[in-house]
């Protein structure tokens, strides 16, 4: 599966002539802006789950740096503690990258596999990095739907 995902990401990036970063064959960041540098880091493993990682790519937009971060956290509903540990590592990777390369504006995109008001995403909201739920900000009156393996649920909205 990872090999197919890597090839799909690479094919799209190459066909569209986009700068891109692919971490561990599956996690991708594609952009129309130049990528100055990138970094990948492993996240804590969860039992019976595939290895997870975070990808960081620094781009330049009109000469200004922007850090784009992508990840995909453990998916099983009972993996609350594992997702919280993965988020702690992800935030540490962002902090380390920004400290080493200067403070940057950051966009964090992810498949968090969690509710916006969960303990893991509360860590993101309380990190002091100024992260906000873009969907909730753009659609405050629409909780939308999210996927859960047994049935679709209404998306929770963080307070």
Q: How far is CA 131 from CA 21, 37, 100, 149, in A?
A: 22, 22, 20, 27
The 10 Å Cβ neighbour count of residue 95 is 13
pTM value > 0.95? no
Q: What is the full per-residue pLDDT of the chain (159 aa) written as tens digits?
A: 445 555 677 777 778 777 777 766 668 888 899 999 998 999 999 999 999 999 999 999 998 999 999 999 998 888 999 999 999 999 999 999 999 988 678 999 988 888 778 899 999 999 999 998 887 788 778 766 555 555 555 555 443
Burial 103-138 (b: 16+ CB within 10 A, else e): ebebebebebbbbbebebbebbbebeeebebeebee
């Amino acid at each position: 599966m990872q090999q197919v995902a890597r090839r799909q990401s690479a094919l799209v990036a190459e066909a569209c002539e986009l700068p891109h970063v692919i971490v561990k064959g599956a996690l991708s960041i594609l952009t129309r802006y130049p990528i100055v540098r990138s970094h990948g880091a492993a996240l804590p493993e969860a039992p019976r789950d595939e290895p997870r990682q975070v990808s960081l790519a620094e781009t330049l937009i009109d000469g200004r740096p922007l850090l784009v971060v992508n990840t995909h956290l453990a998916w099983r509903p009972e993996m609350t503690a594992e997702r919280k540990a993965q988020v702690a590592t992800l935030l540490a990777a962002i902090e380390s990258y920004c400290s080493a390369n200067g403070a940057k504006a950051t966009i964090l995109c992810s498949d968090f596999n969690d509710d916006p008001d969960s303990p893991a995403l509360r860590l993101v909201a309380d990190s002091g990095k100024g992260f906000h739920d873009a969907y909730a900000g753009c659609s405050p009156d629409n909780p939308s739907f999210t996927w859960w393996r047994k049935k679709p649920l209404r998306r929770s909205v963080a307070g």
